[in-house]
Structure 1
Amino acid sequence: MAGMDFAMSAKAADYHQRLTDFMVEHVIPAEESYDRYRLGAGPEDHTVPPVIEELKKLAKERGLWNLFLPAESGLTNLEYAPLAELTGWSMEIGPEVTNCAAPDTGNMETLHLFATAEQREQWLEPLLAGEIRSAFAMTEPAVASSDARNIETTMLRDGDDYVINGRKWWISGAADPRCAILIVMGRTNPDAASHQQQSMILVPVDTPGVSIERSLPVFGWQDQHGHCEITFDNVRVPSSNLLAEEGSGFAIAQARLGPGRIHHCMRAIGVAERALALMIDRVQKRIAFGKPLAEQGVVRESIALSRNQIDQTRLLCHKAAWTIDAHGNKSKDAQLQVAQIKAVAPKMACDVLDRAIQVHGGAGVSDDFPLARMYGWHRAMRLFDGPDEVHMRTIARAELGREKTPLAAAVTR
C-alpha cells in the first residue's frame, strides 16, 4: 500500500467545485418539483418527471456527464469517489442527471469492456448520450440468487438464435419508459463446470415474449424506474446479441459488479452526510424539556457516532477506490476491499439515517422529510449486489487464509 494518497487532485477539485455548485443551484431545488410530479403521477405511473431531462441538458453543458467511466471522463476511481458522494446528497436525482445512475453505469461498464463494435454502436452510444436507459436481469424469485450458480433461466442455442425462458425479479430500471435494453444472465450449458454454465445476452425490452409483470415497492415506495418482475417466454434473440462468449457470465458479472458496488457505497456516504445535516439542523431548532435537543447528551452522542462512522466509511471507500486504480478491479486486494466497503457503507447509512429519523420524531417516518425513503433504499442496499452475509463471508475467508505475520506467529505459538 506504499504511496497511497487520498488528497484530491487539481482536476478532481475542479470537478468537485463545479458539481457542488450544480447540486446546490439546480439539483436540490428541483427535488420539490420531482416529488410533486411523482406524487401526482401515482405509484403505478413510471413517467419521467420533466425536470430530469432539463437537468441532464444542464449537466451536459457544464461537462458534468459520465463522470463514473474513466474512459469517458479521464477520472480515476479515487477522483470519482467524492463526486459520486456529492450526487448521493440527492439520491433520486443527482446520479441520474449526470448519467451516473445504476444500473446504467454497470451496464455501460459491461458494454465498454465486453461488447462488440456493433453492440457498442447500438446500445452503448445511446446510453452514454443519456438517450435510453437499461436494466440488468440476474436475480430470480425461485432461487437464492446470492449464489449465482442457482440461476435457472435458460438461454439455449437454436440455430442462429438463443431462446430464453425464465423469470427474474428486482430488475431495477425496467419499468422506466426509456428502458430499451436488458442484459440477461442465464444458463447456456447446464453440463459445464459450475462457473461456466452461465452467459449474458442483450435482450431488447420490446422483444416478443418479454413481459414486465409488476414493479415491486420498497417499504411501500414505488421507484420511478421500477424494480420489476419479468418473465421470458420463448424469447428469441440472435446469437450476435451474446456478450463475449458462452460460459463467461460469471467473469462478466464480477467485472460489472465491482465498480457498481463501490459506486453505490460512494453515494451512500453522501446520503449519510445529508441525514447528519438534517439531524444537526433539527436538534438545534427543537426544544424539549426546556432546552434544545442539541444539549441532550444522548443526542450529542448520536451526532458524534454518526460523524465517526461517516468518516471511517469514507476512508475505507477511498482505500478501495485507490486499490482498484493501482492494482485493477480483478486483483484480490481490490475484490476484498470492495467486499469490505459493500458490507460497511449501507449499514453505516442505515445507522445514521435511523438516528436522524429518531430525532425527527413522527416527521422522520413521514414523507415530509426524505429520511424514510432514504432509509428504505439503503436497507435494500444491504441485499442487492450481494447481501451483507456474502461479503462478510468473503472477508472472513480472506482472513482465515492469510499467512500469519511475524507478530501474529509470535503471539500464537
Structure 2
Amino acid sequence: MDLLKRITNLLKKHKINVETELCDLESSNDLFQIFESITPERFLHYDPECIDGIESYKYVFMQYVDVTLGEFKPTNISVRGSMDTTVTLHFEYKDKKKKFSILQDGASRVTDSFYDKLNNFIQKELQSKYLTLPTGDQTTAVVYLPKKVANTINKHYMGMSSADDIVAFLVKGGLVEHINWNHTAPDAYNGYTSEGETIATAILKAKLPEGTPYPPNPRIDGMFEMFTESTPVNVHLQNKKGETPYRLALTGDSVFLKQSLGEISQDCVSISKLLSSEWLPINPEIFKIVEPMKDSLQRAKFHSHSGFYNVIFSLEDNFIISENAFSIEGRENAEGVFYYEVFIQKAGNGNNSILKNFSETEVEDIQALIKQYCDDTLWHDS
C-alpha cells in the first residue's frame, strides 16, 4: 500500500474529511502534495520571508488560525513593538489576554521565536497541532491535525530522528517499507544507537516479538533484503565494539545473511583493467576520482561488483566488503543533486569506519582518503 493510501486511511479512521475527489494522485510519496490535495482546508504554505513590518505578523498569525477550522478562535488581535528588536502579538482567547513576544532583531522573515511561541501555546491549549512538512525549498508548509494523527505521521511516514527510533520500530514488528527514508536524516539510518549498535547489528541482537521464528528468521532475512534493495541503510557498518553484521550472522542459521553480508570478491580486477575498455564503463564522476589516483591504487584489488555507479576495492586479494573495503558510490538526493557516498572500514575496531557523504566539489578530500588508505596510514592502530 502506497503512502497516499495509508495516510488517507489514517485520516478517515480519525473522521478527518478527505477530499479524495480533488486528488488525482494515484500514488505519491511526497507529503507536501498529499496534504495539499486531500486536506487543503487544513494546509498552509507560504514564504516566511514576508515580514515587511510588524503588521505582517497579524496576517501570518491569522493564516495559522484559519487552518484550525474554528478550533482556535482568538479575538482582538493586535501587534506592537519594533522590527529592530521585539514584536509583540496580542490577542484574547477564552476571555483571557495572551501575547507572544517575538524576537525579530531586524529580520525580514518569520523568526523561530514565533514558531516556538505558537507551537508551545497550541500544545498546551488545543487538541491538535501543526505538523511541519518538508518542502524542498525555503518556503514553509504545515498541516493542522489531531495530535495523535500528527505524531503517527511524523514517526512512521516523515522519517525518524534517531537509530534508536528506527530499531525500536522494526523490532516491534514495523515494516521497513513504512519508514519514509527520504525524510529521515542520514545520521539516523547510518549512525549508531545509544548503545553503540548500528541498525543492522542491533536487529541481529534484538529480542524479537513473541512467536517470531528465530533462528532462522524469515522476517529478519526479509528486512535485510529490503535494506540492500530499497533503503539507504549501510548493512555492512560495524558497531562501536567492532562487530560486523557478517560476523554476527555467522552465529545464526541464515544462509541468506551469510551470503549477502559476507560475499567474497574472488574475481578481483586491477586498477588498469577497471579503467580499460575491457571492463564496464564507469560513471565520469567516479572516474575523475580514481583515474588520477591510479599510481596509489596499483596494489588495490577491485571487487567484481564495481560498476558504473560505484567502485569497491581493498588491499587484500580476496576480501569481504563487510570486513575490509573502500567503496565510492555516486548518488542523487531527493532534489536531484549529485553526491558521493564513501564507506571505508577495517573490521574489528569500532573506530575504524568512515561513512560520509561528499559533494562534487570535494573530490580532493576523497582522493586524500584513498592515499591514506593505500599507504596504511588511515587508522590510528595501523
> Of Structure 1 and Structure 2, which has the larger fraction of its residues in helix?
1
TM-score, scaled to structure 2? 0.22
Larger Rg over CA atoms: 2
TM-score, normalised to structure 1, is 0.21
More strand as a share of residues: 2
Relative contact order (alpha carbons < 8 A, sep ≥ 6): 1 or 2 greater?
A: 1
